[in-house]
Amino acid sequence: MRRVSLLMVALLLCSPAACSRGIGFIAVCGNGVTEVPETCDGDCPATCDDGDPCTADQMTGDASSCDVRCTHDPIIDCRDGDGCCPNGCDGLSDSDCSPLCGNHLTEPPETCDGDCPSTCDDLDACTVDQLAGNASDCNVVCTHDPIVACQDGDGCCPGGSLDACHALNDDDCTPVCGNGVVEPTETCDDGSTLAGDGCGPTCLFEICGNGYVDVGEACDDGNTIDGDGCSADCLSDETCGNGYVDAALGEGCDDGNAVDWDGCTGCAVSEFQVNTYTPNSQRWPVVAMAPDGRFVVVWHSWGAQDGSQGGVFGQRFDSSGNPVGGEFQVNTYTHSDQNYPDVAMAADGRFVVVWESRDQDGSYGGVYGQAYSVLGVPLGGEIQVNTYTLGAQGGGRVTMAADGSFFVVWASEDQDGSGYGVYGRRYDSSASPLGGELQINTHTNDDQFAGRVATTTDGRTLVVWESYDYAGGNGGLYGQWYDAGGSPSGGGVFVTVPAMEGVMAMAMAADGSFVTVREDGLLDGDLKGIGCQWFSSTGSPLGPYFQVNTYTTGQQRFPDVGMAPDGRFVVVWTSADQDGSGAGVYGQRYDTSGSTMGGEFRVNTCTLNHQWSPKVAIADDGSFVVAWTSYGQDGSYDGVYAQRFDAQGNPLGRGP
- CATH number reported for the structural domain that contains residue 347 in this entry: 2.120.10.10
What pLDDT was estimated at residue 474? 63
Same domain flag for 479 and 516: no
Same domain flag for 519 and 490: no
Question: Quick check: is 394 in a domain?
Answer: yes
Beta bridge partners of 478: 465, 494
Same domain flag for 467 and 488: yes
Same domain flag for 472 and 516: no
Same domain flag for 407 and 492: yes
Question: Quick check: is 137 in a domain?
Answer: no
* Residue 109 preceded by cis peptide, ω within 30: yes
Which of 531, 600, 534 has its CA nearest to residue 567?
534
What pLDDT was estimated at residue 539? 84
What pLDDT was estimated at residue 257? 93
pLDDT in tens, 583-624: 999 999 999 999 999 999 999 999 999 999 999 999 999 999
3-state secondary structure of 546: strand
User: What is the distance between the alpha carbons of residues 535 and 532, in angstroms, rounded to a whole number?
Assistant: 10
Question: Quick check: is 344 in a domain?
Answer: yes
Q: Whole-angstrom distance between the N-terminal and C-terminal Cα of the chain?
A: 161
Domain residues for 557? 502-535+548-651
Q: How many domains does the chain have?
A: 2
What pLDDT was estimated at residue 546? 95
Same domain flag for 492 and 522: no
Same domain flag for 520 and 492: no
Same domain flag for 436 and 416: yes
Same domain flag for 301 and 428: yes
Concatenating the DSSP letter of every residue in 402-428 gives TTS-EEEEEEEESTTSSSEEEEEEEE-
Question: Quick check: is 272 in a domain?
Answer: no
Which of 607, 502, 606 has its CA nearest to residue 261?
606
Question: Quick check: is 506 in a domain?
Answer: yes
Same domain flag for 486 and 510: no
Same domain flag for 444 and 524: no
Question: Quick check: is 179 in a domain?
Answer: no
What are the φ/ψ torsions at residue 205 (nearest 5 degrees)?
-55, 135
Same domain flag for 452 and 507: no
Question: Quick check: is 542 in a domain?
Answer: no
Question: Quick check: is 634 in a domain?
Answer: yes
Q: Mark the ranges of the chain whose per-residue pLDDT is less than 70.
A: 1-25, 160-163, 470-475, 491-502, 656
What pLDDT was estimated at residue 25? 66
